[in-house]
Amino acid sequence: MKLVLVESPTKTKTLEKFLGNNYKVLASGGHIRDLPKSKLGIDVENNFEPQYVIPLKSRKNIKPLKEAVKKADEVYLATDPDREGEAISYHLVQALGLENYKRVVFNEITKKAVEEAVKNPGSIDVNLVNAQQARRVLDRLVGYKLSPLLWKKVVRGLSAGRVQSAALRIVTEREKEIEAFRADEYWSVSALLSCANGEFTAVLKEKNGKKISKLEIKEKEEAEGIKEELEKASFAVKSIEQKEKKRRPLPPFTTSTLQQEAFKRLRFPSRFTMGIAQSLYEKGLITYHRTDSLHLSLEAKKAGEKYIKENFGEKYHKERTFAAKGKTQEAHEAVRPTSLETSPQKAGNLKKEEAKLYDLIWRRFTACLMSDAVFYSTNIEVEAKKENSYTLSSSGSVMRFDGFTKVYPVKFEENELPLIEKEEKLTAKKIEANQHFTKPPARFTEATLIKEMEKHGIGRPSTYAPILSTLYQRNYIEKIEKRSLKPTEIGRIVSNLLLKHFPSIVDLKFTAKMEEDLDGIAQGEKEWRNIIKDFYDDFDKKIKEKELEIKKEDIMQEEKTEEKCEKCGGEMAIKLGKYGKFIACKNFPDCKNTKPLNGDKEENEDDVVCDKCGKKMQLKQSKFGKFYGCSNYPECKNIKSIEDDLDIKCPECKEGDVVKRRSKKGNIFYACNRYPDCTFTSSKKPTENSKEE
């Protein structure tokens, strides 16, 4: 019997179909060894030697794996083809005491790829293991050394991470820009012009041969003066420029662009996108989804050419090569379907979200091998004369050949200008002076933050989603207006403290340089312990200095109130905690009376009464989110989950019941109680209907 070890139980089912009865496939359930949670787990005095343990959740998997290894004739390690997967294989070797094993790597879970990998096994790439180990050790040193400082100087329960802190700084700095922004007023002048074959609008661009910039006209009086003069002017066509423009398709997906596009088109959060992509990969539908490469195999391009020519015609195909900027990790392909013949309609029994993401990946790959979309653009310049000479401009564009947009629609505004002759006289039907104001920079969304992190070289394909999840979990950022990201009060305090006292931790260039060093380790160019030592010596020294220098009262200043504590009569003050502001007795820890700050409770929230003692329930916050707790605590310790049975059937799966829930940030939403089997959520209450008997 031949044994194949993977990390995911879902992957076992797919591999067993391909390998046959002579093979047994078992899953480790992820990392079988890791650093301990209860202590640093790194011997800084002994060249940063990691002290790995088998986590509690992994211990139940060890015994069956060891028994299977004893019975196996051959052992194959088939974990994911990246640093994390390589490290999992390495730790399996250590934990199971494997002496003879074969490492197999495939970028897609198809019969051909798996069989080819098994025929050509290799060994564990120690450089990739070291790169993963270096990242793990770096992040542990920062987290376990810096987080306790935040507990002492800010609030208990906070954390600081090497990459998450740099990402938090990006969001915080953008918020500062928005707050410092002051709108500038400016004006534009436009004319609705009539010609023999129709009408079009032209915008003022020049005065007496000098270009007028977008923000140049500052005053209403100046704009109105130009308007009045144009109302008396004579208009004629000055020039007509017509040319063909082509629009190229976007390249195939990388991890980053997949997360960005899924957020923009499907409203999928980054972590949700990666979970769905993992499922599609394990079902053999797409190639490995953690990649920053744009490479496409010759086989994939040939299959794409065949499919496009057969289904759309020869004119829709174009030979293309894509190259990523800078270095890319490992020799991966871009994210693509494993077979174009498996169209979204033929992909089998997929969940709704899986079908949507697969459709997006399939269309993006198909489109990237298709012809350019061709547009016919026209630019008309109009001259207006009175006391002064003015030039107005109008542009139009129409599609002549749809090309790749036949498969992957893109936004474009078709504006066909009327047929017109040079020097043709025009009639001004309406002249307008329009007021405008400059807009502040936009807040980041998940998509634009990932794009910004990638631009600065922060993080790698496997880290974007975990970075965002950590920032949410720590309550450092929050979503407002459904999509925009804003730093919370506690997030800003942490970011400002790190920027002032640990500038290298949040320095974008420093963080990017560290990522380059990790890439160098992966390529065998750098020694991982040297990288750690260069960082740690200065970092540890600074931690010790700042423990003495930073004063908590300078960072976490209390706000006075007129309120007296109903338990001890002491003064109550407004304090800032991990989850925002609250009111607390100043006699803490002798008196631990706390309560929500007025206004935290939603206006439309019904009063909740304790069903044990009849007292009023209060809305409270824990690390797991908000809940109701009895105001008579500690005499009454009754708590109640914020979840209501609404007697409404789930409109998506038709089986579960809709329940009202509250997110960690206090926002009410509606969800199916069959989660995760059904992922229905809605910010609005679904239409009521009776439960089936």
Q: Which residues are marked as active site?
A: 288
Q: How many CB atoms lie within 10 A of CB 55?
A: 15
- Whether the CB-CB separation of 247 and 373 falls below 8 Å is answered with yes
Distance (Å, whole) CA 191 – CA 152: 64
Which residue type occupies 668?
I
Token representation of residue 235: 């208009």
Sort residue 48 into left (φ over 0), alpha (ψ -120 to 50) or beta: left
- Whether the CB-CB separation of 329 and 522 falls below 8 Å is answered with yes
Token representation of residue 637: 């310790």
Sort residue 167 into left (φ over 0), alpha (ψ -120 to 50) or beta: alpha
Could you tell me how many residues make up the chain? Answer: 693
> Among residues 168, 127, 130, 131, which one has the least CA distance to residue 146?
168
Distance (Å, whole) CA 64 – CA 29: 12
Please, what's the b/e burial string for 605-644 (b: 16 or more CB within 10 A of its CB; e: otherwise)?
A: eeeeebeeeeeebbbbbeeeebbbbbebbeebeeeeebee
**Helices marked H in 233-340:** 255-266, 270-282, 298-311
Collect all residues with Cβ–Cβ distance below 8 Å to 550 and sequence separation of at least 6. Answer: 149, 153, 497, 501
Q: How many CB atoms lie within 10 A of CB 655?
A: 13
Q: For residue 494, what are the CA distances in angstroms to 151, 171, 542, 580?
A: 11, 12, 17, 13
- Whether the CB-CB separation of 79 and 124 falls below 8 Å is answered with no
Collect all residues with Cβ–Cβ distance below 8 Å to 71 and sequence separation of at least 6. Answer: 1, 3
Distance (Å, whole) CA 53 – CA 673: 36
- 381 by DSSP, 3-state: which? strand
Q: Is 329 exposed, middle or buried (0-12, 13-18, 19+ CB in 10 A)?
A: buried
Q: How many CB atoms lie within 10 A of CB 186?
A: 18
Place of tokens 């905690």: 577
Distance (Å, whole) CA 98 – CA 95: 8
List the end-to-end C-alpha distance of the chain, in Å, as a whole number: 51
Token representation of residue 518: 């990790």
Distance (Å, whole) CA 212 – CA 215: 8
Rounded to the nearest 10 degrees, the angle between the axes of helix 162-180 and helix 446-455 is 110
Q: How many CB atoms lie within 10 A of CB 419?
A: 12
Token representation of residue 327: 């270095």
Distance (Å, whole) CA 215 – CA 690: 59
Which residue type occupies 498?
L
Cis peptide before 487 (omega within 30 of 0): no
